[in-house]
Amino acid sequence: MTEKTTAAWLPLAAVACTLVFWASAFVAIRHLGHDFTPGSLSLGRLLVGSVCLAVVALSRGVEPRSYRLEDGRLVH
């Protein structure tokens, strides 16, 4: 498989994954909505998204930035 062929299917795969995950989130919310409050469902979705983004970032070698507090502001 050439680089050009690989690049052609990656956006389609990204769109397909996004649609499947987005649709399944609504199904899960509908199923779990009777047992959890809206706030806890939102927190759960944010935590799952954060973990997924962290896994992707770390697998690509993205290093976290270090920040320090200077005069009441965060600077790097």
Q: How confident is the model at residue 2 (pLDDT cuts 50, 70, 90)?
A: low
Lowest mean pLDDT among 31-35, 42-46, 67-71: 67-71
- Structure tokens that stand for 71 in this block: 């005069």
Domain ranges of the chain: 3-75
Output the CA–CA distances (angstroms, integers) from residue 32 to 29, 41, 42, 53, in the order listed: 5, 8, 12, 23
The whole-number average pLDDT for the span 46-56 is 91
pLDDT (tens digit per residue) in 12-33 = 998 999 899 889 888 888 888 8
In whole angstroms, give the CA distance from residue 51 to residue 35: 23
